[in-house]
Amino acid sequence: MSETLRGTLCPLVTPFQDGTVDQESLASLVDWLVENDIDGVVPCGTTGEFASLSASEWRTVTEVTIEATDGRVPVVAGVAGTNVQRVTEQLEFAAAAGADAALLPPPYFHTAPTPAGNLEFFRTIADSSPLPLVLYNIPACTGKPIAPETVTELATHESVVGLKDSSGDFDYFLELLRSTDDRFALFEGYDQHFVSGVHAGSDGGINALSNALPDVFASIRDAAFDGDTEAALEIEQSVLPELFGYCLDYGFATVAKAGLVSRGVIASGEVRPPLVPLPEEVKTDVADLLSEHR
């Protein structure tokens, strides 16, 4: 499976309209991303506001995404939970719906489990998982990073095929590149590290801004994988820094949705608490920045 997960994968926003999941906008978004050369989609991740979805909404978003891709690109379903049973149930549903793999963070709230605890959590799930698993390192939301030695050990498990790193710690990412083999796919989740990651040997990125800039990310990807690091960095550093800064300040879903509304892809930039809408002046700036780079 890991050999089919490569390039730019988009962690989808979940469009809302009047408080409910906007299935039509979600399907249109998926189709638009595939037409703009995205290599895969990831529903129900952080950018998809998974923690603000009900169980039935999570199922709906997963099913609509899989149906909309129609087998054109891989679907890596976001699954998450603080107990093995819930995650296992999500995996079984996603597999039955036709997902190709799943993105799994460590358990949160448990006061930052020890490396041994995280290892047991991941391994117990992997032992019975019906889908290949991509680990999700996002210490800002889970308390601690997944320890490198935990990743190295899990990388030998036949069901664990990769990792997305959203820590922003490039030294951590380099350590994993050194300690895992080519079978294990490594993706940068920090948008401004995409090119550096590919240059170091990564398999690509899973990046929130690819929702609104799939064409730009496709250009960055092509140049980076063709070995033209200078051209890839020029695009990356001329387009992403200001938008990425807004993402850090206001939330990835919030900025990505505002960008998608400005491009006419989804109907509403609505987000759910604890996220709040962008200030009007920032929304205008996001739209202006996007218009400059498409």
Known catalytic residues are 136, 164
On whether the CB atoms of residues 202 and 38 are closer than 8 A, the answer is: no
Residue 124 labelled as part of a binding site: no
Centroid of chain to Cα 39? 12
On whether the CB atoms of residues 62 and 43 are closer than 8 A, the answer is: yes
Centroid of chain to Cα 239? 19
On whether the CB atoms of residues 101 and 1 are closer than 8 A, the answer is: yes
CA–CA separation, 253 vs 275, rounded Å?
Answer: 8
On whether the CB atoms of residues 262 and 254 are closer than 8 A, the answer is: no
Pairing of strands 16-17, 20-21: antiparallel
Q: Mapping DSSP to helix (H, G, I), strand (E, B) and coil, where does residue 15 land? A: coil
Residue 229 labelled as part of a binding site: no
Burial bucket for residue 231 (CB in 10 Å: 0-12, 13-18, 19+): middle
Q: What counts of helices (H) and strands (E) characterise the chain? A: 12, 10
The helix (H) or strand (E) run that includes residue 256 is helix 252-262
Annotated binding site for pyruvate: 47, 206
Annotated binding site: 47, 206
